[in-house]
Amino acid sequence: MALIPTTILTGFLGSGKTTLLNRVLKEAHGQRIAVIENEFGEENIDNEILVREEGEQIVQMSNGCICCTIRDDLRSTLVDLATQRRNGQLTFDRVVIETTGVADPGPVIQTFFMDEEVAENFLIDSVITLVDAKHAQQQLTDRQEARRQVGFADQLFLSKTDLISAEEKAALVHRLQHINPRAPIRSVHFGEVPLAEVLDLRGFNLNAKLEVDPQLMDDDHDGHGHDHHDHDHEHGEHCDHPHHHHHDDDVKSFVFRAQRPFDPVKLEDFLGAIVNVYGPRMLRYKGVLDMAGTDRKVIFQGVHQLMGSDLGPAWRDDEVRESKMVFIGIDLPRDILEQGLTQSLVPA
C-alpha cells in the first residue's frame, strides 16, 4: 500500500494552527483527513473549536505534552490509524498532526523515521509552521521551541500580518529567513490559503532538518555532553537537542471551571484588567463559556493582550452547561485569576 502522506502543523501558542486547520477541513471536500490533535494542558478546547463534518474526518486526541511523551503516544496513535485503515474500519487519504504550541517538532519528525511500523505506513509530506506576526519577534527571542519550529519548517505561514506595519513585516521576514533560509514564507490571513499550498507539498527534506539538528536521528543520545556545532544560525541555539524541554520549567497551564454562567460585563472588566497587568506572561488562554443572556457557547481566546470571543454552537439540552477555561503562561497568578473569575459569575 502507498504510504500515507502526513502534514505536520506546528507554530507557537496562538499562532493560528487551528484557524488554518479549520479552513482546510472546510475546504477539503472529497479528501478524507485524519487529524491528530495535541494540546498542552489538561483540557482540550480545540476539540470544541474544530469543525467536523460527519463521516469525513476523524479527530484523534492524544493528551499531554507532545514533546515529552510524543514518541510513544504519537507512535501508537499512528500505528492504530494505519491498522484500522488496513482493516477497512477507517477510510482516510492523509493525516494532519497539529502539535501543541510549545512542542519541539524534532521528536515528532523523529517518530516517522525511527519507528519501523510508522515508517512503513506514513511519510511526512511537509512541516508547516505558523508564525504569529504580531508576537513572533518576542517569541523567537524568548522561546527556543519557537525558533526550532521555524528552523524545521518546509513552509512558513505568517498569520496576523493585518496587525503589523509593512516595516515590521519586512524585519520579521528577514529574521525568519536568517533562521531558515530554505522555507518559502507566505502571509496567511485567518488561515486563508489555497489547499494546494497546504496539502501534497512533498516538501519534506530530511537533510535540511539534519542541518538544523545534526543529532536528530541519534536514538540513544540524551542531549547532554555532546559537541554543538554552530552553523551560524541565529544564536546557534536551535541546534540544541530535541530532548531539551525548556518549557517544562516555566510554562504552566491550569484550568478554571464553573457551573454558574458568567456575567459578560463583569468578565470583560476583569479580563481587561488582568491582561493589562499580566498580558506579557499570558502566552495563551482559551475557553468555552456559559454566558448569561445567550443559549450559545461563547468561545473565548487570546494571546498576551490580544483577546477575542465568538459565538459557538448552542448548548445541547443533554449537556451540562459548564464553562472551562485554560490558561497557559509563565508564573501566572492562579489565585488572583480564580478569585476574579469566580467574582465574574452571576450571583448564586
Ligand X SMILES: Nc1nc2c(ncn2[C@@H]2O[C@H](COP(=O)(O)OP(=O)(O)OP(=O)(O)O)[C@@H](O)[C@H]2O)c(=O)[nH]1
105 binds ligand X (CB under 6 A): no
Fill in the per-residue mask, 150 to 179: x = in contact with ligand X (CB under 6 A), - = not in contact: ---------xx-xx----------------
Amino acid letter, residue 252: K
- Is 329 near ligand X (CB under 6 A)? no
Question: Are 315 and 295 a contacting pair, CB within 8 Å?
Answer: yes
Regarding 180 and contact with ligand X (CB under 6 A), the answer is no
User: Shortest approach of ligand X to residue 224 CB, angstroms?
Assistant: 29
Write each residue from 266 to 285 as x if it is in contact with ligand X (CB under 6 A), else as -, in one continuous string: ------------------x-
Nearer Cβ to ligand X (51/163) = 163
Which of 4, 5, 6, 14 lies at the binding interface for ligand X (CB under 6 A)?
A: 14
Residue 176 or 345: the one with the smaller Cβ distance to ligand X is 176
Residues 68/130, Cβ–Cβ less than 8 Å = no
Phi-psi sector, 232: left (phi>0), alpha (psi -120 to 50), beta: left
Amino acid at 254: F
**Bridge partners, residue 326, by sequence:** 255, 286
Does 15 sit near ligand X (CB under 6 A)?
Answer: yes
**Shortest approach of ligand X to residue 35 CB, angstroms?**
12
Nearer to ligand X, 38 or 121 (CB): 38
Helix (H, G, I), strand (E, B) or coil at 42: coil
What span, in angstroms and rounded, lies between the C-alpha atoms of 311 and 309? 7
Residues for the chain: how many in total? 348
> In whole angstroms, what is the distance from residue 254 CA to residue 66 CA?
17
DSSP state of 193: -
Contact flag: residue 7 with ligand X (CB under 6 A) = no
Q: Which parts of this chain interact with ligand X (CB under 6 A)?
A: 11, 13-19, 46, 101, 130, 159-160, 162-163, 189-190, 284, 301, 308
